[in-house]
Structure 1
């Protein structure tokens, strides 16, 4: 058994999810035991700075470096605290904090990855058509502060292979959550929603797996709660506020006309699209319907649920037998109920019911990706990310003894 720590802070920027796990096996025999899981909130000032950067705030290079190191320090601290009095881990897999994500130019658009782009008017450098992603929290800093080999920067190898760099956890989902008899969707609802479709483990089932980002998860809801509560609340616990309202179906249908929802997979997104500007547009458009704050939250909840179901109906090879929720949205009981209502006969459960912690599944996944990287095993699924090849993911940083 290899003891590994997985670390991630998602697009909701709630804090750092840390999972201490013991791992054995490699693929279909992969075994993961969660020893400890904990979420460590960011200091308020750091969280506000991260959210401002995600919303497009400008930084000097010196400020960017300071932010990168400040996040790395918090990640290192989380890694140290999650171990407690347990035996030390031998490896850390740190996803870091995404502050910017730009998908690659898709095939069939005006310009493709095979066609050269013009040079940028502000420089003499050619504009790349590869995607771009930036996760802060330097792995080399985490390695030096903890004294543990650290693997980070997982998304860039997939992007270099012409992939989206997301979703990256589908191969992990395949080996931890697939069923020999049932077709499953693993639906993560963090700030952004993403799915992995897992056909029953029969025949060439691994090649039939697919996945993509479905659109907003909690991001718009959390921003709206902060707006309506004047900053006194950061999320709608159990969906209780939204439950008091009535969704405006006309607005949901209007918002579902967003181009992203109709884009064929592979596809990925982030706060660059579903962020503050998008929420402000939603709020402006809702004024014509004279909605209360509860009505608006119910409508945004319906958008998240409807966008997920819309994605299933339009892009899955077939509807699943069951959906397993994970991430913060899995604890939103009202959202879960709306999903179940829209899914009709498809059972909506949580990954906890299938033996994998819904709260820490993403952190567990990056522990596994780091473990695979240490063994030279590819971590991405090309049919999910759109990459040209399956590649090991992550940069390796070993601590240097003084």
Structure 2
């Protein structure tokens, strides 16, 4: 089955589409990567998304506008991916949508909201679309995240020691895939969320992120601010746990600066300190689960200052990127959601209860038929236990 996975993370800077040929081979799921395309949101969509980020208030009119415009942006990229990566032969699209709210309170997730109406994608591509993948796990008592944990466990199964998959998006999450114990997955805290917030604020909106980690590299660590940020109770909470920009946002950072009496710090020092915060909290979480290697993906891998700090914080634990294991780091999450959509189409569960905290594994999402109707395969007998990568384009198209 040829599947396009659509993803936009909590940094909401762009939509990614990764295409893959997926097939069941006994207890293995074989993934042949066909490439990735990416597109920034239209300026008006980015501005509207920025305007509703926590702790901002919004209206149902804005929600409707965003649900429509995000759906149309996803649809346009899916059409492009179908044409450029799949020769017009896509069988299924799996859309994560754009997370705008993750309702977590007292260690429980009560709801989660991803916008980007799937009907726009189905109408534009003619393909059936799997969407709304997180909500079913929440309904089953889970955190609804990290959903990539199933793919991580299947992919890293069999590697020696205790491999840990790390995603550095707006929020950082890890999956522990040790073969001799139950897998574990959770959000460790901010990855780029506070870095981006600081950069955007201190440059008056001129910059959206710390390109190449340049600002952090010029700054100096401020121990008092770092300790104030490390005192956040979330870090000490046991997994499974998830978080988001509902907690780690600009007012949160500005409040910490005020508490420390450091409101007038040089911007470079603030960026350096929150970059160290990400490295420190990720490394602390990896050590706590006994990691023997960390395999990183996501936008944060393109920040050399963050990666250098993370290597230092991890000490003897090797840090590598998913590219080194054959899965492009920029496209890994989009490929993961292609896999989850494939599992749904085959009637197979897409969660690991030990990772999300759900009562049971669930078949995820809802299916919106395309113009060609809905012709799903016969349900598979059993879920594959390993993900095997076969040769195919490994770089962006």
Is the alpha carbon distance of 1:228 and 1:375 closer, same or farther for their aligned partners in structure 2, counting shifts above 3 Å? Answer: same
Corresponding pairs, count: 371
The residue aligned with 1:354 is 325
Is the alpha carbon distance of 1:286 and 1:179 closer, same or farther for their aligned partners in structure 2, counting shifts above 3 Å? Answer: farther
329, 332, 338: which one aligns with 2:303: 332
Deviation at 1:130, TM superposition (A): 5.6
Is the alpha carbon distance of 1:386 and 1:376 closer, same or farther for their aligned partners in structure 2, counting shifts above 3 Å? Answer: same
4+ residue segments displaced more than 6 Å = none
Q: Is it true that 1:274 corresponds to 2:253 in the alignment?
A: no
The residue aligned with 1:241 is 215
Q: 8 Å contact 2:164–2:286 — kept in the other structure? A: no
The residue aligned with 2:5 is 6
Q: After superposition, what is the alpha-carbon deviation per residue over 1:9-52, rounded to whole angstroms, capped at 9, x for unaligned?
A: 10001110110111112785122122121221001221121122
Is the alpha carbon distance of 1:384 and 1:26 closer, same or farther for their aligned partners in structure 2, counting shifts above 3 Å? Answer: farther
Q: After superposition, what is the alpha-carbon deviation per residue over 1:100-148, rounded to whole angstroms, capped at 9, x for unaligned?
A: 0012644xxxxxxxxxxxxxxxxxxxxxx76110000012231122211
Q: After superposition, what is the alpha-carbon deviation per residue over 1:260-301, rounded to whole angstroms, capped at 9, x for unaligned?
A: 111100100010000122122233345438532111111000
Q: Is it true that 1:195 corresponds to 2:174 in the alignment?
A: yes
Is the alpha carbon distance of 1:311 and 1:87 closer, same or farther for their aligned partners in structure 2, counting shifts above 3 Å? Answer: same
Segments of 5+ residues of structure 2 without an aligned counterpart are: 374-397
Q: CA separation in 2, counterparts of 1:26 and 1:18?
A: 25
- SS for the counterpart of 2:93 is strand
The residue aligned with 2:343 is 372
Q: CA separation in 1, counterparts of 2:25 and 2:350?
A: 11
Q: CA separation in 2, counterparts of 1:366 and 1:176?
A: 14
The residue aligned with 1:154 is 133
Q: Any residues of structure 2 matched to 1:162-173 within 5 Å, and which?
A: 162-173=141-152
Q: Is it true that 1:264 corresponds to 2:242 in the alignment?
A: no
The residue aligned with 1:180 is 159
- SS for the counterpart of 2:28 is coil
The residue aligned with 1:119 is none
The residue aligned with 1:250 is 224
Q: 8 Å contact 1:131–1:163 — kept in the other structure? A: no
The residue aligned with 2:367 is 396
Q: 8 Å contact 1:26–1:372 — kept in the other structure? A: no
Segments of 5+ residues of structure 1 without an aligned counterpart are: 107-128
Q: 8 Å contact 1:104–1:164 — kept in the other structure? A: no
Q: CA separation in 2, counterparts of 1:58 and 1:145?
A: 32
Greater relative contact order (CA < 8 Å, ≥ 6 in sequence): 2
- SS for the counterpart of 2:2 is strand
Q: CA separation in 2, counterparts of 1:364 and 1:166?
A: 16
The residue aligned with 1:17 is 16
Q: 8 Å contact 1:177–1:354 — kept in the other structure? A: no
Q: After superposition, what is the alpha-carbon deviation per residue over 1:346-402, rounded to whole angstroms, capped at 9, x for unaligned?
A: 011100001111101000000000000001111111111110000111111102469
Normalized against structure 1, the TM-score is what? Answer: 0.88
Q: CA separation in 2, counterparts of 1:279 and 1:220?
A: 7
Q: 8 Å contact 2:22–2:32 — kept in the other structure? A: yes
Is the alpha carbon distance of 1:377 and 1:48 closer, same or farther for their aligned partners in structure 2, counting shifts above 3 Å? Answer: same
Q: Any residues of structure 2 matched to 1:59-138 within 5 Å, and which?
A: 59-85=58-84, 86-103=87-104, 105-106=106-107, 131-138=110-117
- SS for the counterpart of 1:93 is strand
Q: CA separation in 1, counterparts of 2:126 and 2:226?
A: 50
Normalized against structure 2, the TM-score is what? Answer: 0.89
